[in-house]
Amino acid sequence: MKPRKLHSSILSRALSRALSSSTATTTSPQCGSAFPLKTVTVANFEPSLTELRHHVRSSDFVAIDLEMTGVTSSPWRDSFEFDRSDVRYLKVRDSASRFAVVQFGVCPFRWDHSIQSFVAYPYNFFVFPRQELAGFGPCNEFLCQTTSMDFLARYQFDFNACIHEGISYLSREQEREAIRSLNSTHDSEWSDISKLNDVRDTPSVNMADILFTARMKDKFSEWRDGLLQEQNQSGQIQGTRKDSKQQFQEMFFKTHPALKLDGFTSRQLKLIQLVVKKHFKDLSYFNVNNEVSGSQQIVVYTDSEDELNLLLKEVKEENHRAKEAKIQSAVGFRHVIDLLSSEQKLIVGHNCFLDIAHVYSKFIGPLPGTPEEFVASVNKCFPHIADTKILMNTNFMLQERMKKSKKSLAAAFTMFCPQIAGGSKSTELVSPSHVKVNVEVDDSRSSSWNPGGKHEAGYDAFMTGCIFAQLCNDLGVDFKLHESSKQLAFNEKLRKYINHLYLSWMHGDIIDLNTGDKVANSTPSYNLKRRYPKIMFENIVIIWGFPSNIKAGEVRECISKAFGLTAIVSVYHLDATAVFVQFSKTELVSDFLLLKESLERSNGPISVLHPLAKLLEGGNTCAANYDTYKEICGSPLSETLFADQANKVSMKWKTKLIENKISLSSEEHESSCLHDNANDVALNLVEKIKPNKIDQLRNDQSRGQASPSEIEESCVAEANL
Amino acid sequence: MASLFQLLLLNQKRSLCTKVSTSKWKVKQVTTSNFNESLEEIKTHISSSDFIAISMEKTGSSSTTPWHRVQPFDTAETAYLKASQSAQRFQLLQFAVCPFSVTDSNNFVAHPYNFLLFPRDELKLGMPAYSFLCQTSQLASMARQGFDFNACIYEGISYLSRAQESVAKIRLGTGSPSLAAMKSSSPPTVADTVFVERIRSRIKHWRNTCKNSGAKTSKDEEIINSIRNIVLGNDQFKSRPCLNIDVCSERQVQLILQMIVDFPDDFLPLVIPTKSGTTQAVRIVLANSREDKELLERELHSIEEEEGKKIRGFREVIDLISASQKPVISHNCINDCTLVHSKFIAPLPSEIDDFVSSLCKSFPKVLDVSYLMKKSGTMKKVANIRNALSYVNTHFFAPVDMEIPDQDTEYKGNVDGLDALRLSYLFTKLCSILKISPIVPEFGDRRLASELEDFTNVFHPCSDDIQESSCNEDVSVWTNNTRKINCEHLVFLWGFKFGMTAGMLKSALRASHDIFSGEFDVRFVDKSCAIVVFWQPGLSRDFINVMNGDGISGGLKELVSDGLRVTCYETYRTMCRLGLWEMDLAESLEKALECSLSDKEINSERKSSEIHWCNDNVINFADL
């Protein structure tokens, strides 16, 4: 679920119901020519993985798409114009670490020379972060965004299939941890078996335990004696065995006579263990984990010490193998990710920065703190990533084509691949410039179908791949030359778009996964469509906790009265409880914070009559510079209202803020001529913000050219939407 | 002896019988498709029943992290904070309601309903919940029991809490500011008089033109009329002429409304609010006659009702229960009540006292069955209703007959949301076992039997018997069930070696310092953190002082060097108040320490209170 998909929430519910019911009929399995798609759940995961492995290996590129339980954990975590790229990354990180992936579409595309067409193999995996391995695995909690869930429901997402049969996974880090803990128990297991440390901890003081112990002792000695006798004369003690048949089952364990214990409580088993240890030298207690039969408790008879040691070693190794196999099966869906990573294929997504962040956080490890670190780690796992959105928007020629249509995936699909979107049945002549795509599922190939269910990850991945193939074709990539298609990622015509992702679509910030640099968007048409002035983050103050009836206009009015009409460039609502104020000069940030502080400290008539008094009414108004905003965004908390979030976060460093302010204001207090000094301190504080390369770029372009007048209106309008 | 044996035999027979009959139990399922008719039905059932059993299914519980659950060492305050954090984070997916009446000492009539809920944002206002938390294990276990998530998300009924409803009405502009608030009239000023007279003449003029306009119908007149309409702000409202008068203050609204009374009564003033809840204008509608005005008023009222219904959604049921003032039967009072309060009344207040008084306004009597069982000695530890029911069935002989009169339920219902029905069965059975008469007199003050009154509005945060709790290391003193200790005697300890048991820790402590020569006890809260109880007053403070002082030496120094940390109960309380719910208690306490170092005022304002050590840790909130 990507932000782009939320557009449809504007549609009225009734309309969408009608829409979804119509898509439901087309995708229902009864319909003969439904879009062929392989749906994978726990039940058919293993064979599908083998199949997919083969397809990925022979593919030219693999398209992916994810469906998530939500995008933003609270309204203010949405993407805003005032988000610097590092803040934007923190918001993406928040989203990827909180929400769950419920469906994962993988669609390998292979160029088939014989039919001069692409063959696509769309897979639709249901994923659910179930904990399969006690103590390890995905986080037990995930967030759902109500609108996203409702949105999925509208497109007939099968939640039952997802929760009942979704494939679970372990991230690489979780797997490492599980193996580490397995190895540590592996080492101690030997001593466990021989020393019985834990058994001695339970005192057998109560009568029942003593009686039970005695009974067990009799049972085992009887059995052992029987065994010894049996060597001479067989079949004599048959009768005595029958009555205890339910709990003791005779068997052979690796050619040794053994008793399988059944239906005992864990305490009773402990007592049995103790009895065996204490009274029988030739009997030993084993806890065997077997891949086939699961966990078993048995008592084994061995002739000699050497035999016992050999057996112990064997059991230990078997147990270890069983546990390893369990971890391997718990890795689950990550096998698919490992496959994509190890094959180093070109991964294709549509506006996929968030998708990649999800892939990283779910299947690799926790997301790093900065976009640079993240990009470097992603590049190691997936060396080639292409984003169709980049191709569509950075290329001037394609930009022209897309100008009038919407930018959603489905719209782009109909735009670029009309013959596929309409199903190949469409009567229009297929123009030679269109790339042909066939779909193959379970070895049956088809070239005609009805459109699939939108927002089903498998179909979305298929659409993305088709668009990519068409865009490559339009760029002049010739698939007919075998070499070029095998090395798609290194194709000269394509090369400059590979590994570029939109960090923020709204900003047009593009991040280069190879270098970690941000690439300025140089497309001429892009700059034309900008409605906002360049933002200077060091000039920004964020204010929250003011009286709820104050709107952006009034904030502007208040501050303008205090600092002059030209002081403010723009005011922007983050949510109902917070505003960004961009000043025209950096010094004004510290001036404002100082003024606010001094007004709050004095209760005299001046502070009441001061133009800022309206803003400070209620005494809960807080203000801080842009870095504080970043810090608040980076916090693991998520409150619905920004003011609540800020207060919760800042509670922890209240003193820090106060100290800053106090040191500033006390200096100011000492003598008025020190005022400038105080300002300098504040300035230093503010200048600690290191603008990133792109921000610098932007600022250089824009310094001094910001015109304050109509901008605010547009910002406010945006905020009110 | 023989009779006892017979009783046991009968008992077993009985339990077999009930097992068979339980499988036939059915509950009426309600989704958006049949909500409206079910609402009418349940309305009559609620009003005719004596009790209402409720049970809920949510997207997560705090069971996976032991210390997030209410523990024996929690005070009423921290227990409430724990319950409220779970209530706020998770979402309701299912709400089972079972109104029932006890007709005879062993017979009851039940009307079980199960409502599927989903917090769909019907009004596009980000309500009732922007996002909510799910617990994988909880969803998986619901799936195992056959919960239909598709039905829930596709067709679950949405709702708004009372607080959200008022916000929504303001934002949608349908709420009319209450006239009662405007009655406060100060003496009119000159400006007021001028304003009133100006408006009065404007209305008079408009009224005359409206009344006369029917007579003249020439083309020119029509044009002039339409221009005049634009200039004067005339308009049509429900095919009746109306006049919009812009106002700049609530005072002006009040003046206009007062003045309208002087006119003949075919005027209907309507207040048009702005987005932020203040009044934007007053619309005056001219009705044809007095009857017409009443008609219009009724029409408007019913529109408002309809809209309200749409906004409230499932909360209608909660409001019905609340309005009936009938006793509510619940399985776990504090969890259920915090959940109901936060989802259907208003966000949970930060103080337990405020919560209790707010809750009592809506639900005067909430009866806790687990507490009833525990207190009466029927069953010590009640994990869930199902187990409790089978326990009671096998251990006691108390035949109870159940009647579900609704045929529809029998044919179309299924087993989802059976817990409310089980709860009513369990309650009737318990009453029969304990010889309490649950029958509510038909007339009179409809008071409950006095035995039952004792079990209403009770929070018992300590649900675990300390002996049976998961960390039963060798701590001998815990057998004393009624021993009370002050929180001040308790310290939290963490940072010891991994894998230590309480016994090991205790002996390590005893060897470390003189303070531990007296009587003290150690218990693990989770794997990272333990509590130490000093039975001698003052020692806990001494211990903390020693730990924070410079003169630390010997074995204790060794432990501290290895990372041992300690803090008082106050830090735990602060931590709960700040909402620092990490996975490990040690981690949370560490964070709370950081915070409490930075601002002391949170600590100082709280009064310390006593906790009842062990399982009679009960706060009766009617006494508060």
Q: What are phi and psi of A114, to 5 degrees?
A: -65, -35
Check A144 against B131: CB less than 8 A apart.
Answer: yes
Q: Which residues of A touch B149 (CB under 8 A)?
A: 159-160, 162-163
Kindly tell me if the per-residue pLDDT of B577 is higher than 90: no
Name the more confident of A203 and B337: B337
What is the pLDDT at residue B274? 64
- Asked if A338 and A473 sit in the same domain, the reply is yes
A580 and A637, same domain (yes or no): yes
Predicted local confidence at residue A108, as pLDDT: 94
Homologous superfamily, domain B2-160+313-459: Ribonuclease H-like superfamily/Ribonuclease H (3.30.420.10)
pLDDT at B522 (0 to 100): 83
Residue of A nearest to B63 (CA): A140
* Among A294, A322, A350, residue at a domain's last position: A322
Domain boundaries, chain B: 2-160+313-459, 179-299, 476-614
Whether chain B has a CB inside 8 Å of the CB on A654: the answer is yes
A337 pLDDT band (50/70/90 cuts)? very high
Residue A62: predicted pLDDT: 94
pLDDT at res. A205 = 60
Residue that has been written with the tokens 């950096």 in this structure: A586
B567: closest CA among B491, B462, B476, B464?
B491
Distance CA B592, CA B589 (A): 5
Identity of the amino acid at A567: A
Pair (A356, A290) in one structural domain: no
Structure confidence at residue A527 (pLDDT):
45
**pLDDT tier at B63 (50, 70, 90 boundaries)?**
low
Identify the CA nearest to A122 among candidates A465, A423, A485. A465
Residues in Cβ contact with A18 at an 8 Å cutoff, skipping those fewer than 6 apart: none
Nearest CA in chain B to A551: B276
A143 bridge partner residues: A99, B133
Chain B CB contacts of A201 under 8 Å are 501
**Which CA distances in Å does A390 have to A385, A395, A521, A697?**
11, 8, 10, 20
Q: What is the pLDDT of residues A422-468, one digit of tens each?
A: 655 544 445 667 888 888 888 788 777 777 667 788 999 999 999 89
Q: Rg for chain A (alpha carbons), in Å?
A: 33
- The Cα B523–Cα B475 span in angstroms is 7
Same domain, yes or no, for A506 and A547? no
What mean pLDDT, rounded, does chain A reach?
74
Cβ of B135 within 8 Å of Cβ of A655? The answer is no
Q: Is the sign of the CA dihedral A561, A567, A569, A574 positive or negative?
A: negative
A158-171 average pLDDT score: 91
**DSSP letter, residue A4:** G
Mean pLDDT of B83-87: 88
Taking the C-alpha atoms of residue A298 and residue A312, their distance in angstroms, rounded to an integer, is: 12
Task: Tell me the per-residue pLDDT of B582-608, one tens digit each, with 9 for 90 and over.
Answer: 778 888 888 888 776 655 444 444 443
Query: Is any Cβ of chain B less than 8 angstroms from the Cβ of A15?
Result: no
Per-residue confidence at B52, pLDDT binned at 50, 70, 90? Answer: very high
Q: Of A297, A528, A253, A226, which is closest to residue A399 (Cα–Cα)?
A: A528
CB contact under 8 A, A141 and B148: no
Q: What is the DSSP letter of A165?
A: H
The residue count for chain B: 624
How many distinct structural domains can be found in chain A? 3
Q: Are the beta carbons of A69 and A351 closer than 8 angstroms?
A: no
> In angstroms, rounded to a whole number, what is the distance separating the alpha carbons of residues A384 and A497?
10
**Which residues in B lie closer than 8 A to residue A164 (C-beta atoms)?**
143
- Tell me the HSE value of A713 on the side-chain side, using a 13 A CA sphere: 3
For residue A682, name the pLDDT band (cuts at 50, 70, 90).
Answer: very low
Among B122, B126, B153, beta carbon nearest to A75: B126
Chain A touched by B148 (CB under 8 Å): yes
- Minimal Cα distance from A129: which residue of B? B136
Distance of CA A15 to the CA centre of its chain: 31
Reported as a single tens digit per residue, the pLDDT across B110-144 is 999 999 999 988 877 778 888 888 988 889 888 88
CA proximity to A590, closest of A656, A688, A680, A704:
A680
Q: Order across the sheet with A256-261: list the strands.
A: A248-253, A256-261, A294-301, A283-290
What is the average per-residue pLDDT within A562-588?
84
Looking from the CA of B36 toward its CB, the CA atoms found within 13 Å total 4
The pLDDT of residue A558:
83
pLDDT tens figures, A68-88? 999 888 888 888 777 888 888
pLDDT at A121: 93
Considering the domain architecture, whether residues A473 and A595 belong to the same structural domain is answered as no
Q: Are residues A656 and A709 in the same domain?
A: yes
Token pair of A422 as six digits: 């309409």
Classified as helix, coil or strand, A193 is helix
The model's confidence at residue A309, banded by pLDDT at 50, 70 and 90, is: confident
Tell whether A267 is within 8 A of chain B (Cβ). Answer: no
Q: Given an 8 Å threshold on Cβ–Cβ distance, is A146 in contact with B119?
A: yes
| A chain contacts of residue B347, beta-carbon cutoff 8 Å | none
- CB contact, 8 Å: A549 with chain B? yes
Range with the poorest average pLDDT among B38-52, B436-450, B516-530: B436-450
Closest-CA residue to B53 (of B42, B69, B66):
B42
- For the stretch A604-645, pLDDT in tens is 666 667 777 778 877 778 888 888 888 888 888 778 888 888
Tell me if chain A has a CB within 8 Å of the CB of B178.
Answer: no
Structure tokens at B82: 């724990």
**Nearest Cα residue in chain A from B594:** A652
Quick one: pLDDT at residue A81?
77
B368 Cβ contact list (under 8 Å, min separation 6): B330, B331, B332, B333, B455, B456, B458, B460
Contact B64 A140 (CB under 8 A): yes
- Name the residue in chain A with its Cα closest to that of B158: A146
The arithmetic mean of pLDDT across residues B21-35, rounded, is 79
Given A529, A563, A591, the domain boundary residue is A529
What CA–CA distances, in Å, run from B574 to A267, A425, B597, B618? 40, 68, 11, 22
Least confident range of A519-533, B402-416, B554-568: A519-533
**In this structure, is residue A512 part of a structural domain?**
yes
Which tokens sit at B200?
Answer: 């009065």
Question: Phi, psi at residue B77, to the nearest 5°?
Answer: -65, -50
Q: What share of chain B is helix, strand, coil (3-state, %, to 5)?
A: 50, 20, 35
What CATH fold (topology level) applies to the domain B476-614? Alpha-Beta Plaits (3.30.70)
Which residues on B lie below 8 Å from A655 (Cβ)? 598-599
Q: Which range, of A188-197, A683-692, B237-246, averages the lowest pLDDT?
A: A683-692
User: Which pLDDT belongs to residue A130?
Assistant: 86
User: How confident is the model over B358-374, as a mean pLDDT?
Assistant: 85
Q: Is residue A23 part of a domain?
A: yes
Facing A146 at nearest CB: one of B132, B139, B591? B132
Q: pLDDT exceeding 90 applies to what percent of chain A?
A: 15
A40 and A147 in a single domain? The answer is yes
A155-164, A187-196, A693-702, B459-468 — most confident range: A155-164
Q: Is B121 on the interface with A (CB under 8 A)?
A: yes
> Is a pLDDT exceeding 80 seen at residue A674?
no
Q: Chain A 360-419, CB below 8 Å of chain B: which residues?
A: none
User: CB contact, 8 Å: A97 with chain B?
Assistant: no
Confidence of residue B220 (pLDDT cuts 50, 70, 90): confident
Residue of B nearest to A95 (CA): B131
Euclidean distance between the first and final Cα of chain A, in Å?
21
The answer to whether residue B140 neighbours chain A at the CB level (below 8 Å) is yes
Cβ-Cβ contacts under 8 Å, B598 against chain A: 651-655
pLDDT digits (tens, 9 = 90+) for A649-673: 775 443 334 444 444 444 434 433 3
pLDDT above 60 (res A9): no
Q: Which of A31, A36, A34, A30 is nearest to A123 (CA)?
A: A36
Q: Which domain holds residue A257?
A: 178-322
Contact A163 B139 (CB under 8 A): yes
Domain boundary among the residues A529, A547, A577 is at A529
CB A623 within 8 A of CB A643: no
- The CATH number linked to A138 is 3.30.420.10
Identify which of A9, A146, A164 has the shortest CB distance to residue B130: A146
Interface test with A, best of B124, B127, B131 (most A CBs within 10 A): B131
A327 domain-assigned: no
Whether B259 shows a pLDDT value over 60: the answer reads yes
Which residue of A101, A127, A160, A198 to mutate against B (max B Cβ within 10 Å)? A160
CB distance B123 to B36 below 8 Å = no
Instruction: Give the highest mean pLDDT range of A22-31, A274-283, B443-452.
Output: A274-283
Q: Out of A141, A152, A654, whose CB is closest to B599?
A: A654
Q: Is A70 on the interface with B (CB under 8 A)?
A: yes
pLDDT in tens, B143-171: 888 889 999 999 999 998 888 888 887 77
Average pLDDT value over all residues in chain B: 75
CA distance to partner chain A, nearest, from residue B599 (Å): 8
Assess: ipTM above 0.90. Answer: no
Shared-domain flag, residues A666 and A548 = yes
All residues of chain B having their beta carbon less than 8 Å from the beta carbon of residue A162 are 149
Structure tokens at A654: 């209240």
The CA distance from A665 to B283, in Å, is 53
Return the number of CB contacts < 8 Å for A and B: 97
**Measured between CB atoms, does B194 come within 8 Å of chain A?**
no
